[in-house]
Amino acid sequence: MDKIKVGIVGYGTIGKRVADAVRLQNDMKLVGVTAHSYNYKMTSAQVKKIPIYKMPEAEELNNLKLAGDLNDLLKNVDIIVDCTRKKIGAENKEKYYLPNKIKAIFEGGEKADLADCSFVAQCNYDEAVGKDYIRVVSCNTTGLCRTLNAIKSKYGIDAVHATMIRRGADPWDIRHGPINAIVPVLELPSHHGPDVQTVLNNMPIFTTALSVSSTLMHLHSVTVDCKETPNVDEVLKLFENTTRIRVVDNASKVRSTAEIMEFAKELGRNRCDMPEIVIWKEAIGVTGNKLLYMQAIHQESDVVCENIDAIRAAMGFENGKVSIKKTNEALKIDYCKECTVE
Amino acid sequence: MDKIKVGIVGYGTIGKRVADAVRLQNDMKLVGVTAHSYNYKMTSAQVKKIPIYKMPEAEELNNLKLAGDLNDLLKNVDIIVDCTRKKIGAENKEKYYLPNKIKAIFEGGEKADLADCSFVAQCNYDEAVGKDYIRVVSCNTTGLCRTLNAIKSKYGIDAVHATMIRRGADPWDIRHGPINAIVPVLELPSHHGPDVQTVLNNMPIFTTALSVSSTLMHLHSVTVDCKETPNVDEVLKLFENTTRIRVVDNASKVRSTAEIMEFAKELGRNRCDMPEIVIWKEAIGVTGNKLLYMQAIHQESDVVCENIDAIRAAMGFENGKVSIKKTNEALKIDYCKECTVE
Amino acid sequence: MDKIKVGIVGYGTIGKRVADAVRLQNDMKLVGVTAHSYNYKMTSAQVKKIPIYKMPEAEELNNLKLAGDLNDLLKNVDIIVDCTRKKIGAENKEKYYLPNKIKAIFEGGEKADLADCSFVAQCNYDEAVGKDYIRVVSCNTTGLCRTLNAIKSKYGIDAVHATMIRRGADPWDIRHGPINAIVPVLELPSHHGPDVQTVLNNMPIFTTALSVSSTLMHLHSVTVDCKETPNVDEVLKLFENTTRIRVVDNASKVRSTAEIMEFAKELGRNRCDMPEIVIWKEAIGVTGNKLLYMQAIHQESDVVCENIDAIRAAMGFENGKVSIKKTNEALKIDYCKECTVE
Amino acid sequence: MDKIKVGIVGYGTIGKRVADAVRLQNDMKLVGVTAHSYNYKMTSAQVKKIPIYKMPEAEELNNLKLAGDLNDLLKNVDIIVDCTRKKIGAENKEKYYLPNKIKAIFEGGEKADLADCSFVAQCNYDEAVGKDYIRVVSCNTTGLCRTLNAIKSKYGIDAVHATMIRRGADPWDIRHGPINAIVPVLELPSHHGPDVQTVLNNMPIFTTALSVSSTLMHLHSVTVDCKETPNVDEVLKLFENTTRIRVVDNASKVRSTAEIMEFAKELGRNRCDMPEIVIWKEAIGVTGNKLLYMQAIHQESDVVCENIDAIRAAMGFENGKVSIKKTNEALKIDYCKECTVE
């Protein structure tokens, strides 16, 4: 079978990771990535021999060696993964993908109606099969969908309330704060609840959010009113047995987002990422019909595998479970999940 | 009437503030404070002409001028406010206050059963009148009690779930982190729920907690299942009309804990403190019978006024409302509450 | 004698402090401040009964009570202190101060040639007497000038090399980082050296700078090649005896910028400011002819007293020493300097 | 030739990296590492099939599979790399290495006189050949030695003054601060200067130090009084051509320690480390005979390659240049150095 020819537009936090991930799939070929400006990410891409295509609006690219411009890239791909900043994806769809009849995957910064469906592989893969435009939801929404989907299937859900404690900026981002403050989102509910509903229809969820002075991961404190009474041990097993969720415990000293990131370094994965949603064993609680848990979200990487599955779905690959399995194996996801919970 | 003669044991974050506050009451006299070690707090106390008494176990006190030792202090006071570190209060009770038959106020780091009652003035002042040993609950518990007491009186409460986002260390504390992490408390529920119940009996509350890299204030994200359906505007009024609660809004640009602290500087109060619990107008929400809100807690100062009221209660002053009013006026609490909400 | 009628244009970090300081001088009268937008600073000014004048370009001012507009303010003042953001001062000079023949003080964000002289009171007061436009240099430059001027007068200076470790953002500023990085200024020398030379002519100084994740104070690590060999104890005395410099020591536990800010709270000054340049006794060292020391700069407040002295100088008050003394007394500067060094 | 049989005592920040590095050398064999307690580092080691040996004083090791105890390890190795915490190395030498006549490498937390020589491979490899006990100096000292050794060889050095801006805690360390402060070391000179002299005899260096709220890297601001006048372009070339030093520039957007760490992720090295000392092109300056530069030190990794070379030296491998080359190739050091400076 021919490999799927993939192009990446936007080579930032997500784009560079999707590029790496595509290169690890045996049914895909990375045709190239786009250059918008000169920087260490582009020079490193060149070192890795990834073909680089110039965007029309690119700034000075200095001594980068170019494989062509965006049009050259568009001519040679089956599908584009658009990892540009918020709203640029919508512009690119109009300017490039629609006129050239090219399928595209968009990221969670874009509005839901830009795409034919929003997507989290383990929740609604089937819905996305054969679609031209698929939107991978944001890192936070992806995290909520993965765990809530599992809980719903086992206990049913009457209501969800979640507080999202968000990292203030990504690790490389030196411009944004806060340096010393807790910053609530002064809008209730935050946008995350409605966004979950683009994947899990009718999920009754209400979210509040705030930002803190950390760069590593988001953390969610979640309360679920279940239809049936949950049980802590059972929930623990449920999470352990659900793909792309990882349970850690205090005994293994993974007590914070910092230690999750350090643990990711031990596992030796690419860029020291932690694509699984991480849940603390000791922070799962039940009171009456209410289930409480805390989960950590690696904002830079949890959606990368979703993009890979979305590519397959868009190209008509019908078996979601097989896609997830292929992606997981290639990216070492669910790798050594057992090694930090006794 | 004779002034109440007050001594402070422990001159740290809380002790030094209670000392300042006692000096501002017209029915109290600060007899003195204790010195445990030499530092800028003690030299500054000396500048303010506060008498200093040496603790038996004190380290080298250098050139501090002493008014005597702890026994001298104990002989001259009606009541001690014990602001020492966790567990030391219990030791001091055994060693000094019981044998000398001296009344004492303890802080929230001590266990509830050390005292005859736990205390938040606007919730249970009457219970504390005439008691020998009163425990002012911790900053977080005080904050929860103030707002939940108001909500309960208006709507009734079926259940409370709160996530406490705690500042990692106090502003002066250079030793403790985290520098770059979100650190969940790996124990459910956190101790705050049971602590609330020492003041508000039978309050059905469940709390989770985590620490972040900030020194300024704690922030609580609270969900209350009310018995009667609440209404946002009504709740806003309720909070505005409750003492020691302050509502701020986005229009006045008080958007974070940092800006609350800056606003406190504008108000010109002692040490730039914000003793009121601060609630954001835009973060009050209702969904069904559930009321959601976010509140910020100035951990260094919200209990100071409680200590003053607890002194009066212990000494037999019977009218809680009058005590709260006297304390508020002396400390400029509820001062200009209207000036940041349109 | 008539009081000097002062208006403040720009009511931010510096402007609001200069307003407070003007109100504390017995030879000055604060005519009013300008409003550029609605926020807690303006509502607090109103609480303090400071007259508020609307800027032409002001945003919606909601329910603020106005005393008039900028023209009304300009008609009633002898001098304006312009505390607007960088470059706005230059525009205001052209648009308002020159046409209306009003004297003005500018801040360090403006270019030196905008004013008739740059200014640090204890270094070059005489130069500024009677000038129409005086520029108070930036917080960092002010700090360098105060200590270098003292050292030069005693030992002579062959060369100065300083590394400025800058706070990333002000305490109230939630937008700017870095959250977790050290950010060098990639330009040698940084602009601070040439700026020092606008006050201390021909000072041979070379500076490097970097930003860190803190909001409280800047810290300078300074190396001075002296003409005559310095001596640690002598230098300590020199600094102790120089106005607007404060020496602290390890024994009193003022070991960091955080503890300096806490010490400022103990001293009970307005807004808990520390306008003196703070030097650590234990961090003064001599090797050969080289003097090394570390000094901390409270970026929000060290220039406030300079603005007050600059007002007097501009208005023709000839005795710099007397001005400095008046300002210091009104603002409690040099207050209790002895209380943290044994 | 037989492979060198290496054991690692202490499996923390440095120990786990040296273990990985030993496994990548074709002339070494990792016999095993020691377990002191149960945690995610040990379970990950097990996943990597690294044999684990129990320390006598080990806490509960839960379900870890053990290859034996420390004595079993000692029997099977030629040399131990002791990566335990400060002072424990000295105890281990007395208790285990001397009695068992086993060679050992110690880390920079130990005192210099514990070993036969202190060590930075490119500075004094020859001195260490055949020695029984070698001390690899600390991360900061290693960084200073690498660059000063190069400068000295080209220009000669009269004096060095360096300010070390230290990260407050390692990335995984959630306990230590400061959260919001700059903390000077109140001792002049700091210990780094004398430590440099254990490698570069008679280097006239004086250092000051301070800690900041960051976890990523240390940054040094260095001023060197050269014997011969340096030249910026020449110095740039000197650094580019020196092993284990990497020059980056503003054009490639590596503007901070955060972006250095992100660049390390692009390079795809183990644990995303940056073992080279990183110097900014734009921060190299010359004034008279003085050379100024800023360098960043990845505290977790710069000494790892030094440990590998120290093993070879201790075992009698005589050619330092060859050892450095072998180590560099195995660890991808000096890899793509050219790709971030035009």
Question: Nearest-CA distance from A334 to chain D in Å?
Answer: 14
Cα→Cα distances C335→A104, B19, C235, D159, Å: 67, 21, 20, 39
Q: What is the pLDDT of residues B65-111, one digit of tens each?
A: 999 999 999 999 999 999 999 999 999 999 999 999 999 999 999 99
Closest CA to B179 of C35, D30, D340, A256: A256
Cα→Cα distances A237→A69, A154, A274, D61, Å: 50, 12, 20, 24
The count of CB pairs under 8 A between chains A and D is: 110
In sequence order, which residues have a C-beta less than 8 Å from that of residue A319 and are 6 or more positions away? none
**Would you call the peptide bond into B184 cis, given omega within 30 degrees of 0 as the criterion?**
no
Question: Nearest-CA distance from B73 to chain A in Å?
Answer: 40
Q: Which residue of A has its CA nearest to D272?
A: A271
Q: Do residues D284 and D273 touch, judged by C-beta distance below 8 A?
A: no
Give ipTM to 2 decimals.
Answer: 0.97
Most C CBs within 10 Å, among D167, D174, D185, D186, to test the C interface: D186
Q: In this predicted structure, which of B21-25, B315-319, C147-151, D266-270 has the lowest mean pLDDT?
A: D266-270
pLDDT tops 70 at residue C88: yes
In chain D, the percentage of residues whose pLDDT exceeds 90 is 94
The count of CB pairs under 8 A between chains A and B is: 149
pLDDT tops 90 at residue C336: no
Q: Do B171 and C63 touch (CB under 8 A)?
A: no
- The whole-number average pLDDT for the span C130-158 is 98
In the block, tokens 């349109």 appear at B342
The count of CB pairs under 8 A between chains A and C is: 50
Q: CB neighbours (10 Å) of residue B263?
A: 26
Catalytic residue from among D83, D117, D123, D139: D139
Conformational region of residue A25, where left means phi above 0, alpha means psi within -120 to 50, and beta covers everything else: beta
Question: Nearest-CA distance from A327 to chain B in Å?
Answer: 29
Catalytic residue from among B83, B139, B145, B305: B139
Q: Which residues of A touch D (CB under 8 A)?
A: 16, 38-41, 43-48, 62-63, 171-174, 179-180, 215, 248, 251-256, 258-259, 261-263, 265-268, 270-272, 336, 339-340, 342
Most B CBs within 10 Å, among C49, C62, C262, C338, to test the B interface: C262
**What integer pLDDT is reported at residue A169 of this predicted model?**
98
HEC states along chain C? Answer: CCCEEEEEECCCHHHHHHHHHHHCCCCEEEEEEEECCCCHHHHHHHHCCCCEEECCCCCCCCCCCCCEEHHHHHHCCCEEEECCCCCHHHHHHHHHHCCCCCEEEECCCCCHHHCCEEECHHHHHHHHCCCCEEEECCHHHHHHHHHHHHHHHHHCEEEEEEEEEEECCCCCCCCECCCCCCEECCCCCCCHHHHHHCCCCCCCEEEEEEEECCCCCEEEEEEEEECCCCCHHHHHHHHHCCCCEEEECHHHCCCCHHHHHHHHHHHCCHHHCCCCEEEEHHHCEEECCEEEEEEEECCCCCCHHHHHHHHHHHCCCCCHHHHHHHHHHHHCCCCCHHHHCC
Question: Nearest-CA distance from A253 to chain D in Å?
Answer: 5
pLDDT tops 70 at residue A342: no
Question: Which chain D positions have a beta carbon within 8 Å of B215's beta carbon?
Answer: 179-180
Question: Which chain D positions have a beta carbon within 8 Å of C180's beta carbon?
Answer: 213-216, 258
Q: Do A177 and C177 touch (CB under 8 A)?
A: yes
Judged by DSSP in three states, D242 sits in coil
Q: Do B173 and D177 touch (CB under 8 A)?
A: yes
**What integer pLDDT is reported at residue A114 of this predicted model?**
97
Q: Do C210 and D258 touch (CB under 8 A)?
A: no
**What integer pLDDT is reported at residue D14 of this predicted model?**
98
HEC states along chain A? Answer: CCCEEEEEECCCHHHHHHHHHHHCCCCEEEEEEEECCCCHHHHHHHHCCCCEEECCCCCCCCCCCCCEEHHHHHHCCCEEEECCCCCHHHHHHHHHHCCCCCEEEECCCCCHHHCCEEECHHHHHHHHCCCCEEEECCHHHHHHHHHHHHHHHHHCEEEEEEEEEEECCCCCCCCECCCCCCEECCCCCCCHHHHHHCCCCCCCEEEEEEEECCCCCEEEEEEEEECCCCCHHHHHHHHHCCCCEEEECHHHCCCCHHHHHHHHHHHCCHHHCCCCEEEEHHHCEEECCEEEEEEEECCCCCCHHHHHHHHHHHCCCCCHHHHHHHHHHHHCCCCCHHHHCC
Cα→Cα distances A275→A21, A83, A94, A209, A304, Å: 12, 17, 31, 21, 8
Q: What is the pLDDT of residues B149-158, one digit of tens each?
A: 999 999 999 9
Q: What is the pLDDT of residues D128-151, one digit of tens each?
A: 999 999 999 999 999 999 999 999
B272 catalytic, yes or no? no
**What integer pLDDT is reported at residue A341 of this predicted model?**
77
Distance CA B166, CA A210 (A): 13
Question: Which chain A positions have a beta carbon within 8 Å of C214's beta carbon?
Answer: 179-180
pLDDT tops 80 at residue C39: yes
Q: What is the pLDDT of residues D75-129, one digit of tens each?
A: 999 999 999 999 999 999 999 999 999 999 999 999 999 999 999 999 999 999 9
Q: Do D172 and A259 touch (CB under 8 A)?
A: yes
**What integer pLDDT is reported at residue D189 of this predicted model?**
87
pLDDT tops 90 at residue B238: yes
Q: Which residue of B has its CA nearest to A209?
A: B221
Q: Are strands B205-212 and B157-167 parallel, antiparallel or unpaired?
A: parallel
Question: Mean pLDDT for chain D?
Answer: 96
Q: Do B283 and A221 touch (CB under 8 A)?
A: no
Q: Do B215 and D179 touch (CB under 8 A)?
A: yes
The strand ranges marked E within chain D are 4-9, 28-35, 52-54, 68-69, 79-82, 103-106, 117-119, 133-136, 157-167, 183-184, 205-212, 218-226, 245-248, 277-280, 285-287, 290-297
- The whole-number average pLDDT for the span A271-293 is 96
Catalytic residue from among C83, C117, C123, C139: C139
Q: Do D256 and C178 touch (CB under 8 A)?
A: yes
Q: For chain D, give me the number of helices (H) and strands (E)?
A: 11, 16
Q: Do A176 and C175 touch (CB under 8 A)?
A: yes
Q: What is the pLDDT of residues B173-223, one digit of tens each?
A: 999 999 999 999 998 888 899 999 999 999 999 999 999 999 999 999 999
Cα→Cα distances C308→A153, C130, C314, Å: 70, 14, 10
pLDDT tops 80 at residue C1: no
Q: Which residue of B has its CA nearest to D213?
A: B179
Cα→Cα distances D332→A23, D272, D325, Å: 21, 12, 10
Q: Which residue of C has its CA nearest to A170?
A: C179
pLDDT interval class at C340 (50, 70, 90): confident
Cα→Cα distances D79→A108, D172, D310, Å: 53, 29, 11
- The whole-number average pLDDT for the span A307-318 is 98
Question: Mean pLDDT for chain B?
Answer: 96
Q: Do residues B117 and B127 touch, judged by C-beta distance below 8 A?
A: yes
pLDDT tops 70 at residue C92: yes
pLDDT tops 90 at residue C188: no
Closest CA to C330 of C20, C14, C4, C7: C20
In sequence order, which residues have a C-beta less than 8 Å from that of residue D241 and are 6 or more positions away? none
Nearest to B178 among A187, A258, A284 (CB): A258
Angle at B274 between CA B273 and CA B275, to 5 degrees: 105
In chain A, the percentage of residues whose pLDDT exceeds 90 is 94
Q: What is the pLDDT of residues A63-94, one digit of tens each?
A: 899 999 999 999 999 999 999 999 999 999 99
Q: What is the pLDDT of residues B36-51, one digit of tens each?
A: 999 999 999 999 999 9
Angle at D312 between CA D311 and CA D313, to 5 degrees: 90
Nearest to D208 among C159, C210, C283 (CB): C283
In chain C, the percentage of residues whose pLDDT exceeds 70 is 99
Helix (H) or strand (E) holding B69, with range, is: strand B68-69
Q: Do C188 and D213 touch (CB under 8 A)?
A: no
In sequence order, which residues have a C-beta less than 8 Å from that of residue B177 and are 6 or more positions away? B168, B169, B213, D168, D169, D173, D174, D175, D176, D177, D179
